């Protein structure tokens, strides 16, 4: 709904999940509820909120229309993640795992495959450039960064040192 939202309505169908970030480094579901009340809504517009420690909170009742993505709430479930993934470069493992598990559960429960970023449906940067969308939406593992290869092959260097110290010297 545009403007103030007067009541919570049942959602007729569920065809997609829309992912968000809170755009706040730290916050609680209760704080988001207060922010959304200040917007004139009947409370938190997201159906779920995932904290950095991996805890998941229910927001708006799951079978009702949300208030999280203008003109796209009628058939979607909104999931918000604590953090600002425009400025924060990595999501904690616990949060990423909990979010991926929640999304997989919802996809299975509703028989859906479509997962979108908020910015896919509205003019916004949400859920941020550093949001691990593929890992959460499709369970794609995030590859840990590989350490740089050493400049010297350690095995070869040790072997050459052994040869140097075990070979007879030319003076013998």
Collapsing DSSP states into helix, strand and coil, what is residue 117?
A: strand
pLDDT band at 139 (very low <50, low <70, confident <90, very high): confident
List the end-to-end C-alpha distance of the chain, in Å, as a whole number.
Answer: 93
Answer for the pair 7, 61: CB distance below 8 angstroms, yes or no.
no
What mean pLDDT comes out for the span 49-53? 97
Identify the residue whose tokens are 């598990």.
101
- The answer to whether the pTM exceeds 0.85 is no
**Short-list 103, 124, 125, CA closest to 114:** 103
**Short-list 34, 82, 43, 87, CA closest to 64:** 43
Identify the residue whose tokens are 């007879």.
168
**What pLDDT shows up at residue 136?**
97
4-47 pLDDT, tens digit each: 456 789 999 999 999 999 999 999 999 999 999 998 888 999 99
141-151 pLDDT, tens digit each: 655 544 444 44
**Which tokens sit at 21?**
């970030």
| Burial class (CB within 10 angstroms; exposed 0-12, middle 13-18, buried 19+) of 142 | middle
């Amino acid at each position: 709904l545009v403007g103030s939202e007067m009541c919570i309505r049942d959602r007729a169908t569920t065809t997609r999940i829309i992912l968000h970030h809170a755009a706040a480094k730290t916050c609680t579901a209760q704080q988001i509820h207060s922010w959304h009340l200040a917007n004139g809504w009947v409370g938190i517009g997201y159906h779920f909120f995932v904290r950095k420690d991996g805890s998941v909170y229910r927001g708006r009742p799951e079978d009702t229309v949300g208030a999280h993505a203008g003109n796209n709430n009628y058939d979607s479930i909104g999931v918000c993640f604590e953090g600002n993934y425009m400025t924060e470069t990595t999501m904690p493992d616990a949060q990423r795992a909990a979010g991926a598990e929640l999304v997989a559960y919802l996809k299975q429960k509703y028989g859906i495959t479509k997962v979108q970023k908020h910015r896919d449906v509205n003019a916004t940067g949400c859920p941020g450039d550093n949001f691990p969308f593929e890992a959460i939406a499709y369970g794609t593992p995030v590859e840990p960064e590989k350490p740089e290869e050493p400049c010297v092959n350690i095995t070869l260097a040790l072997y050459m040192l052994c040869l140097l110290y075990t070979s007879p010297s030319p003076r013998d």
